[in-house]
Amino acid sequence: MNTYSPRIVHVRPELDRMAEYVPGESPEAFSVRTGIPVSCLIKLNSNESPYGPAPSVLSALSDHRWYNNYPDTNATVLRTALSHYTGLDGRFIILGHGSMEVISLLWHIFLAAGDNIICCPPTFSLYTSVTTLCGAYILEVPRSIDYEVDVEGILEALTPETKMIVLCSPNNPTGNPVAEADVLTLLETGRIVVVDEAYVEFSDRPRGYAHLVPQYSNLVVLRTFSKWAGLAGLRIGYGLFPEWIGAYMRRAQCPFEVNVAGHIAAIETLNDLDYVFGNVRKIVQERDRVYNVLASQPYLEPIPSQGNFILARVINEDVDILRVRAILESHGILLRYFSHPYLRDFLRVTVGLPEHTDQLAHALSKVTG
Ligand SMILES: *Cc1c(COP(=O)(O)O)cnc(C)c1O
């Protein structure tokens, strides 16, 4: 590179106000930082499944012989399987390289410079980075004291430039779902209402709001195989779209986005639902234990969750969250911590295996012990 030439090409100015999305730390990076070997770590910071893919998924992946060929862009087989799973016709389904790719495409389809979207913090922070990349803005309508979406507040915040209202249900990181009445009220605004259902399989209503998609021209439901199906590393997600939006999504998407391994893993998962939902049930049961462990610490206040994670607040003024973090990290336990002002005193725990809960309980008891 010639370091003497003046820069005559500049990146778009919105990149300068774009905060990088900071995911949960990887075991490799954690290990380098702390000196604790990867094999000793308990990773409870990214809401991944402790059970991993179904054995049938792993054997289908290793039996496949045609990785030299591009994937089926129409996802003929997977679309049919997903259609059975969601109860929706295949024409409503768009697949993506993780639901994050679906989010990114959807945002780029609707958001131009100066537009805005409404988000209800505390919520998933990726929405913010993609919005900024589009040159658009976030209007934050904070949740109420019990983390409910403030529907009145959203209606008041709408501007002519508001293109989308983004809801996450169950919400990451608070764990509570959005009420159907609230979704219906917001659909009346005519804005695109996005319901991100990344955790719906762990909730009391595992079918979520998919059934509403064919009835509304402005409702989008996002799903993923990353969490409940244990496929985060393979990057496969999908969205349920009104047909007119789906047509633009197809136009905007690069062909072959979902790789062959993702197709195979998703298809086999849907063929083996009894097994995979057995694991989901184990996680939902374990969630009660994790809740009790958190609630029994005098310095923590957990929030009931319908996801595979629980958010808890450090409520004792004598206990510093940095100290809690240091103690947990010395035990090799990775949790999620936040920099957003709403979440400074909070930690989020992914529900893992029963033995992970035991070790978490042991490490948390050292904070006051
Ligand atoms: C994990 C997560 C996603 C991302 O899912 P991928 O399919 O892995 O891209 C989307 N939304 C929320 C709220 C999540 O927590």
Per-residue pLDDT, 237: 98
For residue 221, the CA-to-ligand 1 centroid distance in Å is: 12
Contacts of 107 (CB under 8 A, 6+ apart): 117, 130, 131, 133, 134, 136, 164
Ligand 1, residue 172: give the atom nearest the CA. Answer: 13
Question: What distance in Å separates the CA atoms of residue 96 and residue 89, rounded to the nearest whole number?
Answer: 17
- Per the CB < 8 A criterion, the answer to whether 219 and 197 are in contact is no
For residue 166, the CA-to-ligand 1 centroid distance in Å is: 14
Beta bridge partners of 140: 119
Per-residue pLDDT, 13: 86
Domain map (residue ranges) of the chain: 6-51+275-365, 55-272
Mean pLDDT of 14-33: 86
For residue 100, the CA-to-ligand 1 centroid distance in Å is: 6
Tell me 312's DSSP state.
Answer: E
Q: How far is CA 258 from CA 48, 94, 215, 237, in A?
A: 20, 11, 28, 9
User: What does the pLDDT look like over 239-297, one tens digit per residue?
Assistant: 999 999 999 999 999 988 899 999 999 999 999 999 999 999 999 999 999 999 999 99
Beta bridge partners of 314: 300
Q: Give yes or no on whether 6-51+275-365 and 55-272 have one common fold.
A: no
Residue from 99, 167, 194, 348 to probe ligand 1 pocket by mutation (most atoms less than 8 Å from CB)? 99
Q: Which residue has the higher pLDDT, 213 or 7?
A: 213
Cα 47 from chain centre: 8
CATH topology assigned to domain 6-51+275-365:
Aspartate Aminotransferase, domain 1 (3.90.1150)
Ligand 1, residue 232: give the atom nearest the CA. Answer: 8
For residue 126, the CA-to-ligand 1 centroid distance in Å is: 9
Beta bridge partners of 311: 348
Residue from 221, 224, 236 to probe ligand 1 pocket by mutation (most atoms less than 8 Å from CB)? 224
Bond before 121 cis per omega within 30 degrees: no
Exposure of 16 in the CB half-sphere (CA atoms within 13 A): 4
For residue 9, the CA-to-ligand 1 centroid distance in Å is: 34
Sign of CA dihedral 313, 317, 319, 320: positive
User: What does the pLDDT look like over 339-362, one tens digit per residue?
Assistant: 888 899 999 999 999 999 999 999
For residue 224, the CA-to-ligand 1 centroid distance in Å is: 7
Indicate the length of the chain as a whole number: 369
271-275-278 Cα angle (round to 5): 140
Bond before 177 cis per omega within 30 degrees: no
Residue from 100, 200, 308 to probe ligand 1 pocket by mutation (most atoms less than 8 Å from CB)? 100
For residue 284, the CA-to-ligand 1 centroid distance in Å is: 18
Structural class in CATH, domain 55-272 = alpha beta
Question: What distance in Å separates the CA atoms of residue 47 and residue 310, rounded to the nearest whole number?
Answer: 10
Residue 105: both structure tokens together: 């495409």
Kindly report the pTM of this predicted structure. 0.96
For residue 173, the CA-to-ligand 1 centroid distance in Å is: 11
- Per the CB < 8 A criterion, the answer to whether 6 and 297 are in contact is no
Give residue ranges with CB within 6 A of ligand 1: 47, 98-100, 124, 168, 172, 196, 198, 224, 226, 232, 237
Per-residue pLDDT, 233: 96
User: What does the pLDDT look like over 136-157, one tens digit per residue?
Assistant: 999 999 999 999 999 999 999 9
Per-residue pLDDT, 2: 60
Question: What distance in Å separates the CA atoms of residue 351 and residue 329, rounded to the nearest whole number?
Answer: 17
